Structures are given as structure tokens and as C-alpha cells.
Amino acid sequence: MNDIAFRKVVYELPNMDEVTIKKNIIYDKSKPDELNFDLYLPNHPNKRLPAVIFIFGFSDSLFGKGLKQMEQYKCWAKLFALKGIAAITYSYTNPEEDIQKLISYLSVKAYSLGIDITNVGIWACSGNVPLGLSILVKNKFKCAAFLYGYMIDSAKVNYTKNASLQFGFVNPDSTQLLSKIETPIFLVRAGKDQMPNINETIDLFVLKSLENNLVINLINYSSGEHAFDLYNDNAVSREIIKKVIEFYLFHLQR
């Protein structure tokens, strides 16, 4: 997966490169490198738009470039924009602190940006998911999708903790706070995921979610691999990507 930064999503729509992209909007001037975000919009929006924020929990230079510059996020953001949902990717230095700064900025500037701040969802995958879960505990969002992600540990195992130390993503412990999550969640589990013990953490999350009566939608992609949206170029992957987008359309545009 050395080429992951340059891999495009295996599902495409016509006119993806024609969406409007407002680049490098500054949301924090307090650091030497001013933090900014890119805002993907449908062409000719006629109302304030719902939005999806992509959550980043890895070091911003892990893959040789900032995560918002990765083709994966550019493609997903364009797909959302084509469907009438604004999409936001961002630069950061401290994953936990900076996402909260971004959310605060969006809350203040939403009207001028054309965003309906009461109608926002989040999206995370892989090692970004623990931060995504923490965000759900601290903020109210309309929905969230977590794809092939490390999730929670138990008192007996530390799979997510160990992976965070190995791969360099933040791991806020949200295990004890799951009962506070009211947000509908869409999960995609890759049955042939190569990452160590990742599916055990998803399985535990599903069990705890049922115990806490959370709203979850689960797809077990039995033949899917890690980052299936980039590496498994087939009809099943494309159908799952479509279903993820439809989940947001249902919760954000109804």
C-alpha cells in the first residue's frame, strides 16, 4: 500500500472534476503554518448545504503528503459534492485539538460558507476512526460512517491501543462513553482486512453498540480488504460506496 496517497476511489461519477473547490480557507492563524481547509461544493448551490467532515487522526505527513491532499479524500469529497452535500478536508498539526477548532470555526462561519451547521455528518476510515468516535461523543452530528477502522478495546485486549502505537494515530478512549452516542452510524467491515486485529475491534464495537441500543448499520464485506475503496476495483466495492453516500443523503437531506 505504498501508493495509497495516489490511489483514487474505485467508484466514479460523471463530472467529478467539475465541482467547485474553495481551497485553503484559514481556520486557525495561531500556528506558524496557518491551518486551513478545502470546501467542496456542488456547482450552483441554491441553498445552505448539509456537510460531511472527513476526520483525520493520523500524523498529517504519514503518507508523504497532507491527508487532505490524498486522492482518496479528494475523490470522496467530489462524490459528496456531486450529490448536493458539501465536503470538508483540512490541514492540522494536533489531530484532537485542531478538529475541535475547525468545528468551532464552522459553527461561526457556516452561514457565509453556505453550510447548514445543524445538518453535518462525519466520515472516517482506518486509524482515523478512534478520533471519529471521540468526536461523536463530544459533538452532535446527524450521522457518521466508519470504514474498515480500528474502534474500541476491552479490559482484556488492547488491539486499538497497540495499533495506535505502531501506526501513529491518536486513540482517545471512547469505550466507556458509547452509551452517550445518539448519532446513526454506518459501519463497513472488510472481512479480509490485513491490519492486525482490526476486525476484532469492530466486532467488539458492534456488540457494545447493541448492548447500548445504538443506531448502527453494518455491512460485512466478506471478501473486502483494507482500503477496499481504493484497492478492490469491483462491483461490490462500488455498490458499498454508493450505499455509504445514500446513508448520508437519507440523514442529511430528508
Mean pLDDT of the chain: 93
pTM to 2 decimal places = 0.96
For every residue of 105-158, DSSP letters joined together read HHHHHHHHHTEEEEEEEEEEEGGGHHHHHHHHHHS--SEEEEES------SS--
* Per-residue pLDDT at 2: 60
Share of residues in the chain with pLDDT > 90 (%): 83
Strands 49-54 and 115-125: parallel
Tens-place pLDDT, residues 164-216: 999 999 999 777 778 888 999 999 999 999 999 999 999 999 999 999 999 99
Q: List the alpha helices (DSSP H) in the chain.
A: 71-82, 95-113, 129-138, 159-167, 198-211, 228-231, 235-253
All three cell numbers of 21: 473547490
* Fold for the domain defined by 4-158+175-253: Rossmann fold (3.40.50)
* Per-residue pLDDT at 63: 67
Domain regions of the chain by residue span: 4-158+175-253
- For the residues 85-111, what does the mean pLDDT come to? 96
